[in-house]
Amino acid sequence: MSNMNKLDFTALEVSRRNYLKWVQDVKLHLTTKGIKATFEAPTNDKPVDEAQKATTIIFIRRHIHNALQTEYFTEEDPRTIRFALAARFDHQKDIYLPEARHDWQHLHFQDFKSMNEYNSEVCRIQLLLKFCKVELTKSDLLEKIYSTFHATNIILQQQHRAHKFTKFSDLISVLLLVEK
């Protein structure tokens, strides 16, 4: 009997903290069950039957907080629930974008003990910006490194800019040598 109540992933919290992950988990699970169309925007080429809708509603209700279950108890269309939840919770990009831009502006190469730490932070910020639909180009990444060189390394900075690295990894390799 306890298996019936076991969740496939963490239920959506009322605080919206896990909304983005929750939406992705729901989409993946509904895809594996072959009923993702019940959750997505309607299309004319694939009709959705009532049994599929009911299965999706049950699945969604099992994976949302009890307060949200009560609020959406009368809904019979999974798309309606999805769009209502999106209207209520899908403001994460508005929250993350200023934070990511701030982190990018205040990122300095010399603030890190190792190149790995710096690279990890660049990747984290880059993914956050990408999520917010802001793409960092290769030149943005290179310029960030150049602009954060210590003042004593200004000649090195000019040499690297003149070299015109074709790959971010090439510059990283050179900086690793300089770091030693």
- Specify the pLDDT at position 47: 72
Cα 117 to Cα 15, 122, 144, distances in angstroms: 31, 9, 15
- Report helix, strand or coil for 1: coil
Give the global pTM: 0.59
- Specify the pLDDT at position 163: 64
Tokens coding 109: 């190469």
Helix 19-32, helix 50-62: angle, nearest 10: 140
- Look-up of token digits 């009911």: 54
**Phi/psi of residue 64, nearest 5 degrees:** -130, 155
Q: What is the pLDDT of residues 101-157, one digit of tens each?
A: 999 999 887 788 888 898 899 889 998 898 888 998 887 887 787 777 666 666 666
Residue 179: pLDDT over 90: no
Q: What is the pLDDT of residues 49-95, one digit of tens each?
A: 889 999 999 999 999 999 999 998 899 899 999 999 888 888 877 88
Residue 1: pLDDT over 50: no
Q: How far apart are CA 56 and CA 77, in angstroms?
A: 9
Poorest-confidence range of 19-33, 34-48, 123-137, 164-178?
164-178
- Specify the pLDDT at position 40: 82
Q: What is the mean pLDDT of residues 167-172?
A: 60
- Look-up of token digits 């019936």: 4
DSSP-assigned beta bridge partners for residue 12: 64
Residue 175: pLDDT over 50: yes
